Chain A
Amino acid sequence: MKQIIATVPLFDLGRGAFCDASLFQGIDLDTLRSIEADWTPIFDAAAPENPPEDAHWEWAAKALQALQNPLSYELFGIEADARTQGMMLVVKGGPKCFSRHPEHPRAPLIYVDFLATAPWNRPGLTATPTYKGVGRLLFMTAVSLSIEEEFAGRIGLHSLPGAEAFYRNRLNMTDMGKDDAYQNLRYFELSTTQARQLIAARP
């Protein structure tokens, strides 16, 4: 089930002004269609890959049914201009949801399984990105869920190489180093203290 949680600000880089976007919880066929129709051709143009064998809508619709009432994860999306601007999947329980931070070893946390923005919002893919703020919005959504689950805002994630500076410097997460159990990506955590400081931050 997809439901709107809030109207949030997104910075339109073309106009140099904020605009309204919708923050959604859950996923529906429209979101999947938007990703397939809007995102995939751009990615494929940048670096083609073999299309997956199972990219049929019948399959997607069937898969969606199973994803309707999740116990261990949540999906969130940002929409603006009738297009999906970013998506995030977070895990709420299981082996990845134990903190590795020295401040509170093994404390429960929200693990960000993926945080992905539309290709036109990625400076690594386009010289003139469309929107700024998708990552920040999705990340703060994960922090909010962590608070609601009584995990005090704690977050864990594996950053892709181009995004490390964002998580380290802008969100003040602790860089726990390369994780050789996860393709050598660097693992970052937002501790209880860091979550408190982040929310209280004044620019």
Chain B
Amino acid sequence: MKLCVDNDWLRRQIGNDPIADVEAGRVIRRSADVVKAAEAAAQPQAVAVAGAPKREDAPLALLIHMTRRRDRLTIAQFAERIRVSVDEIATIEKDPRYSPRPRTIHNLAEYVKVPAKALLNLLPDAPVVDQSLDEAVYKFAASSDDLSGLSRAERRGLNDFVKFLTAYKGGTEADGK
């Protein structure tokens, strides 16, 4: 690569530049920062969209967990019932950022008896575009407590949430079409 200006130009400009900080972008303090930056640049991150809040809670994990407890199923039994791997169910319950495969969503929706599209709105990468869904998730999360078997209040919370999802019409079209 050839520089677009010559050294005379550079001398003149540098001579007139103030003694000033010039740092831009990410902070580099050690060699690991350089390597990490290069690795990230090799696989560009999506530009974060301002004003599009992401789900911090894990309503899908909670829905599975509560449904399992209602039906007194272990992770293995539940996974078998909805015909997906044990690993995937365990990951969904453990990792709030994990997005399950479309087939898992489909089978889960069938089991819980809600539209698959409604479940897509509970994924970590679904944009929160509907306050009513947000409120329903919040109410559902608040109603649960991790005791064995469901209490009457928890059962009511789960039923209300499933009812809400069944009737839910808003949200995204993110169904992979």
A residues lining the B interface (CB < 8 Å): 5-11, 13, 18, 23, 25, 27, 31-33, 35-36, 39-40, 43-44, 49, 51-52, 54-55, 60, 63-64, 66-67, 70-73, 75, 87, 89, 91, 93-96, 112-117, 122-124, 129, 132-137, 139-141, 143-145, 147-148, 153, 157-160, 162-163, 165-167, 170, 179-182, 199, 201-203
Contacts and interface: CB of A to CB of B under 8 A. Distances in A.
A201 B37 CA distance: 32
Given A55-B32, A95-B46, A181-B49, A170 B18 contact: yes
B18 A8 contact: no
Interface in B1-26: 1-5, 7, 9-26
Given A123-B19, A180-B50, A63 B35 contact: yes
A6 B17 contact: no
B175 to A, nearest CB: 24
Interface string B33-60: 0110111111011111111000000000
A186 B68 CA distance: 48
Interface residues of B, number: 46
A203 B40 CA distance: 38
Contacts of A11: 14-15
Given A6-B3, A8-B7, A36-B30, A129 B19 contact: yes
Given A40-B30, A70-B41, A159-B23, 17 more contacts: A27-B38, A32-B35, A36-B30, A39-B29, A60-B32, A66-B39, A67-B42, A87-B34, A113-B41, A114-B37, A116-B28, A122-B21, A132-B17, A140-B5, A159-B24, A166-B22, A199-B4
Contacts of B14: 9-11, 18, 132-133, 136-137
Contacts of B45: 95
Contacts of A66: 39, 42
A36 B31 contact: yes
B21 A60 contact: no
Nearest to B29: A43
A123 B45 CA distance: 32
Which of B22, B46, B49, B51 is packed against the most chain A CB atoms within 10 Å? Answer: B22
Contacts of A31: 34
A32 B17 CA distance: 28
A5 B2 CA distance: 7
Contacts of B4: 140, 143-144, 147, 153, 199
Contacts of B47: 95-96, 181
Given A5-B1, A96-B47, A52 B22 contact: no
B10 A133 contact: yes
Given A52-B30, A75-B38, A157 B17 contact: no
Contact of A71 (B1, B3, B42, B51): B42
Given A114-B25, A140-B4, A141-B3, A89 B10 contact: no
Given A9-B7, A13-B19, A145-B1, A73 B41 contact: yes
A114 B26 contact: yes
Contacts of B7: 7-9
Contacts of B28: 35, 39, 87, 114, 116
A199 B9 CA distance: 9
A66 B26 CA distance: 21
Shortest beta-carbon contacts, A-B, top 4: A135-B22, A94-B44, A133-B14, A162-B21
Contacts of B31: 32-33, 35-36, 40, 55, 60
